[in-house]
A and B are shown apart, each in its own frame.
Chain A
Amino acid sequence: MFKINTRLLKNIDFVFVINVIAILAVGIMILPSASASVTSNPLYFVKKQLIAILIGCIVMVFTASINYRYIRRFVRHLYILNILMLITVLVIGTEINGAKSWIKLGPLALQPSELSKIIMIVCFADFLDKRQGKLKRLRDFIPCFLFFAIPLMLIMLQPDMGSGLVFVAIMLGMMLVGGANLKLLSGLVGGGFIAGVASIWAHFKFGMPLPLKYHQIMRLIAFINPYADGEGGRGAGYHIIQSKVAIGSGGLTGKGLFKGSQVQLNFLPEHHTDFIFSVIGEELGFIGGALLLLLFLSLIYRAVQIALNAKDMFGVLIVIGFSSMIVFHVLVNVGMTIGLMPVVGIPLPFVSYGGSAMLANMTALGLILNINMRRKKIPF
């Protein structure tokens, strides 16, 4: 059962694989430059990232080799394991940047919420598959929401708003493909969006209380006008301003690796993690940035093709869950660096520095390849 059937390997979509490798390569290429002003050893972060990729490859081979349908037997266990893991981080986790999202194991710091996303994709795929054709009315939606409610609540307790939103995005993407009533779903998304905007407006206009701290609210709305962050662009708007200046000043062709003044002189903070796209924008220009976005788009397209040819709905939903996660990460991450989205701390998949996300993504990649290999036979 762990042996990979060589016949199955022929089924692998190599364009998809090359696409992933290309994105990883961009990440590895930009990382020394992005971390040059953070550490004196330019290869320090690259080394760690490469190790994460290497371990990720091993995990990927593992997840690709077992038939994904066996996993369905363990979804209950996985779901409980996920919740236990999220409780553990709340109890023994380490707080970094105001969020208790990390578990320290010696020199390693793991971020359980990254793995949690993958587990939720698998579990929810199973959950939805069993309810196929039964997502017509609002009350059919409620079990889905409840299914996500507990882990989402635990994530928000850290608090990790970024991951929480990723959960919502995954859920919506999967529900859409899972056959949910389109009108109802888009009505809910639109309504939720309007409710969110209205409550923030009411908060400022009438002092309506919100379960968010002032700086969290400012981070959410500062992208609209970063100079009006209450501190003349030195508060919540600072990141956005500096990131836009970095990307904008990169122009068409960029300033060249290691030559972006915004990055190398530290005007832009956190540029090797959440704001790595600003480094790409400044040093590689519009050509580099657009190329990376097109690589991601192509990746999603291939994933959708894989989903289309999956053997069963469980496989389809896993692939869509994963691709929804990637799309949302790219949208929010790139969006915040160019002032299109609120500043929500989520990384750029395969590119931002961070081992946990890399491992989780590689695991998911393994699953997709798994589904890809075991696709339905195409009748000739």
Chain B
Amino acid sequence: MPSRRGTARWPSSGSRVPVELVRIDDRMIHGQVVVGWGQPLDVRFIVLVDDAVATSDWEQELYRMGVPPSMDLHFDSVADFAARYAAYAADPRSGVVLAPDIPTLERVVEAVPAIRAVNLGGIHHRADRTQRLRYLFLSDAEAAALRALAARGVVMTAQDVPSARPIPLDDLLAGRGER
């Protein structure tokens, strides 16, 4: 499908998101990312930002095997991602940046203020979390952290796959999302 630098359109929803999707997803590289977003956005590179994975050859190999040869896969610590962000942003190909959790996202946004939009793609059940959507569970502390990021001007929407309706953070936290 056609896409151009900066934005992309997919027929099923008609909505627009940045091609350089920055996504929180605790499954990290999986079907929704590689296929669900990867196909319609013609994603050609993925950056997985996780300090632990960035230092583990075994973990990297694990994720690498799930990515088709047409996609480059980069494993960065938060610090390395900040240093390389300008190069990623200048890449004419479509890319996705993945963070596994909200604390990592907070550090990413702190280190790279140019990131102004974040996709909440998958934060699953944990004992201290409350269900907000089928694929989003947040503790009170995590909800507060997202509010703080929003107050700094970061636009956050929940959307697991491109065909789903993007749900703004305010609606999500007010219980106006879809269960």
**Binding between chains A and B:** no
